[in-house]
Amino acid sequence: MVVTAVPEEDRELAELAARAAALRERIEQANYEYYVLDSPSLSDAEYDRLFRELVELEQRYPELRTADSPTQRVGAPPQSAFPKHVHAVPMLSLANAFSDEELRAWEERLVRLAGEDVRKAGYSAELKIDGVAVSLVYEGGVLVKGATRGDGTVGEDVTPNIRTIKDVPLRLRGESLPARLEVRGEVYYPFALFERMNEELALRGERIFSNPRNAAAGSLRLLDSAVTATRPLRFFAYGIAVAPGERLPVDRQSEVLELLEEWGCPVAPYRQRCSDLAEVVRWVQRIETEVRPQLDFAIDGVVIKVDSLPLQEDLGVVGGREPRWAIARKFAPDIAETRLLDIRVNVGRTGVLNPYAVLEPVEIGGATVSYATLHNEALVLAKDLRIGDLVQVKRAGEVIPQVIAPVSDRRTGSERRWSMPRNCPVCAAPVVRREDEVAWYCPNEECPGRRLESLVHFASADAMDIRGLGEARVRQLVEAGLVRDVSDFYVLTPEQLQELEGFGRRSAEQLVAAIAASRTQPLSRLLFALGIPHVGSVTAALLARHFGTLDRLMEASESEIASVHGVGDVIARSVSEYFAAPRNRSLVERLRVMGLTLEEPGGVPGGGALRGKTVVITGTLPTLSRQEATALVERHGGRVADSVSRRTSFVVAGEAAGSKLAKARELGIEVIDEAELLRRVSEPESEHDVQ
């Protein structure tokens, strides 16, 4: 090293520059852990502190600011228009296949063009994210530009907006990176956050977005990137474009995805290297029926790519637009049009009033839809839905059907506007709205509508699971004056039931037996069945396992409850308030007298072969369903998490395990199979632990 005399100020500036660089690296590492790995290592407070320090440094010394600084994620000054961006490598679109036959025809064409080698090369099958295509230009590993697809040749330079997307790496993590490369991918808007944004927009009387794709496109094309920064956009990478002549260190598309992950880019979960088209077809089927309904982002199909990159090059592009080597297998449409016959309101067990649509029955994706949720009053008004409208209805997998929008140009003038009734439709109590909430409530705790819903919930399959005690029966029991609260179920006699319409001797005895059998349900189910606000089945299981008995939970302080892993302050307060109320304490006493199990088997602290373990389950296990495997882990004291992080104890991987398995390997986390899981939970020491 050459040592020269450095003026004092320069030395100081060099030190500050080093500090700024260290801050940038730490903050970006924290972003990566939080948004890509789903495994934060910094507390929010510490993150904020580091971030503020960097902002102040850069404000005082603007020369220290860099293009890859995380401070650039908060947005730049508004622009008046987007500059044009010419893509170095064109952004292609895809041909579609709407059936398996069309997929086979595609393969036949490839074989005719490139010979039987195509079949041997295998395919990379990936989710087709329904968002907005973007190209991210990296030079020397640093993000220098982000552009939309435009017409495929020229797009819009939306760099300041792209920088606000938290999981877009501002700097890639690889070593031997090409000098310049473009990461291709899709910007999308997660479902849950989309609905929340629409609610907020509706509440402020602003225009809402009709779907997450439009929300992503709209947010990405805002001239004020500070507003984009408030939108929770996310990104998935699916390809790399390099200048002609440059080569990537891999020769398969499936390896491109791995490379992207190594560089720190988020890659969509679920992808599969398939050795032949039959495997592709099976995978598509699984994604459409099992995976799509559970995803928190929209997909409109699966993209199938010839896995070999040299073969892709041989196959080339048709008409400069669509590659021959890839095809989109689109899913059946999940939207249909039908008539909105009426808007009615249902009273939930917490008193919340839910408007729902009564529809002219219509078939969507193989099921008949007659009702759809309308969420809340603000959304009905923002969508300007009127009774009598022709409406677009969407049904996605298991999700409750939704009314997307009216077909306004088909109006006749006879449609009627709707607004939330000012009185509860069941008990006529004046409805109330809490500050900052969109929902209206019936405040009457004695409201028969609320009471009925609580009783139905208590008996439902995920709660006490009392067979034969559905909504109609519960209604009948309430109307006959036999049941007021859930403890009354347990004193019903076959003789009383036989007097009611529709009961014979056998069915009356069966129902009484089913109710009696529910006494042995574990505490976790009872806690969920009680309908404590904010306590879903997962929280109920956490509480039951942690405290072991209802008495211990009832004695616990709010802070003790909040200290349970996975239980937040809001839940803790709700639980604590619930058990402080005399009417709830007396209900518990009545249930105790009726002989209900107020304990969690295996939930006594210290027990369970998997106590304290965080387990991730991925892929298809040979004998256990996902639900069964989860229940097994939980029964032995473990916790099942959705994503792999450094805190994961081990991963149980089955067939076709995808990115979670890859991430586990990357982080060096133990991976076991189902057989090993079963062995672990049957080890003798666990027998001592489980009571």
Choices 66-74, 127-135, 207-215, 523-531 (CB under 6 A): range interacting with ligand IVH: 127-135
The stretch near ligand IVH (CB under 6 A) out of 51-59, 171-179, 321-329, 426-434 is 321-329
Which position among 121, 326, 604, 661 is part of the footprint of ligand IVH (CB under 6 A)? Answer: 326
Among 88-96, 196-204, 354-362, 655-663, which window interacts with ligand IVH (CB under 6 A)? 88-96
Say whether residue 126 binds ligand IVH (CB under 6 A): yes
Number of shown-chain residues binding ligand IVH (CB under 6 A): 15
303, 359, 567, 664: residue in contact with ligand IVH (rule CB under 6 A): 303
The answer to whether 596 and 588 have CB atoms below 8 angstroms apart is no
Shortest separation between residue 132's beta carbon and ligand IVH, angstroms: 8
Candidate segments 13-21, 91-99, 155-163, 196-204, binder of ligand IVH by CB under 6 A? 91-99
Nearer to ligand IVH, 135 or 518 (CB): 135
Whose tokens are 């529910």? That residue is 518
Find the shortest distance in angstroms from Cβ 92 to ligand IVH. Answer: 4
List phi, psi (to 5°) of 155.
-120, -170
- Nearer CB in complex with ligand IVH: 325/528: 325
Question: Does 328 interact with ligand IVH (rule: CB under 6 A)?
Answer: yes
The least CB distance from residue 213 to ligand IVH, in Å, is 11
69 vs 124, beta carbon nearer ligand IVH: 124
Nearer to ligand IVH, 57 or 215 (CB): 215
Tell me which stretch binds ligand IVH (CB under 6 A): 87-95, 227-235, 433-441, 572-580.
87-95
Query: In degrees to the nearest 10, what's the CA dihedral of 482, 485, 486, 488?
Result: -40
Under a CB-based contact definition with an 8 Å cutoff, are residues 485 and 479 in contact? Answer: no
Report the DSSP beta bridge partners of residue 186.
133, 236
Rounded to a whole number of angstroms, the minimum distance from the CB of residue 115 to ligand IVH is 22
Q: Is 288 in the site for ligand IVH (CB under 6 A)?
A: no
Burial 1-26 (b: 16+ CB within 10 A, else e): eeeeeeeeeeeeeeeeeeebeebbeb
- 239 binding ligand IVH? (CB under 6 A): yes
Residues 409 and 104: their CA atoms lie apart, in Å, by: 40
Q: Rule CB under 6 A: choose which of 24, 85, 87, 128 binds ligand IVH.
A: 128
CA dist., res. 30 & res. 174, Å (int): 17
For ligand IVH, what does the binding mask look like between residues 147 and 166, x meaning CB under 6 A? --x-----------------
> Cβ(372)–Cβ(383) under 8 Å?
no
Nearest to residue 616, comparing CAs of 672, 570, 569? 672
Q: Which is nearer to ligand IVH, 34 or 191 (CB)?
A: 191
List 128, 166, 305, 660, catalytic entry: 128
Task: State which residue, 327 or 463, has the beta carbon closest to ligand IVH.
Answer: 327
Nearest-CB residue to ligand IVH? 133
Of 441, 503, 440, give the one whose Cα is nearest residue 477: 503
541 binds ligand IVH (CB under 6 A): no
Tell me, what DSSP letter sits at residue 333? P
User: Which positions from 23 through 62 interact with ligand IVH, judged by CB under 6 A?
Assistant: none
Rg (CA), the chain: 29
Helix (H) or strand (E) holding 271: strand 271-274
- Residue 129 as a binder of ligand IVH (CB under 6 A): the answer is yes
C-alpha span between 660 and 658 (Å, rounded): 6
Q: Which stretch binds ligand IVH (CB under 6 A): 164-172, 320-328, 446-454, 539-547?
A: 320-328
CA nearest neighbour of 644 among 29, 231, 33: 33
**Judged by CB under 6 A, which of 94, 147, 452, 483 binds ligand IVH?**
94
Contacts of 94 (CB under 8 A, 6+ apart): 303, 322, 323, 326, 327, 328
| Residue 136 near ligand IVH by CB under 6 A | no
Show the beta-strand stretches assigned E in 276-316.
299-306
* Least distance to ligand IVH, CB of residue 257, Å: 9
Torsion on CA atoms 202, 207, 208, 214, rounded to nearest 10 = -160
CA 382 to chain centre: 24
Is 133 an interacting residue with respect to ligand IVH (CB under 6 A)?
Answer: yes
Binding to ligand IVH by residue 372, rule CB under 6 A? Answer: no
Structural contact between residues 169 and 189, judged by C-beta atoms closer than 8 angstroms: no
Residue 195 near residue 180, CB atoms below 8 Å: no
Q: According to the binding rule CB under 6 A, does residue 343 interact with ligand IVH?
A: no
Q: Which of 269, 425 has the CB closer to ligand IVH?
A: 269
Which residue in the set 68, 186, 415, 600 belongs to the binding site for ligand IVH (CB under 6 A)? Answer: 186
Residue 383 appears among annotated catalytic residues: no
Do residues 28 and 36 touch, judged by C-beta distance below 8 A? no
* Length, in residues, of the chain: 691
Q: How many CA atoms are closer than 13 Å to the CA of 201, on its beta-carbon side?
A: 18
Strands (E), 100-253: 123-129, 132-139, 142-148, 154-156, 180-188, 234-241
553 sits in which H/E element: helix 550-555
Residue ranges in contact with ligand IVH by CB under 6 A: 92-94, 126, 128-129, 133, 149, 186, 238-239, 303, 323, 326, 328
Q: Which residues are catalytic?
A: 128
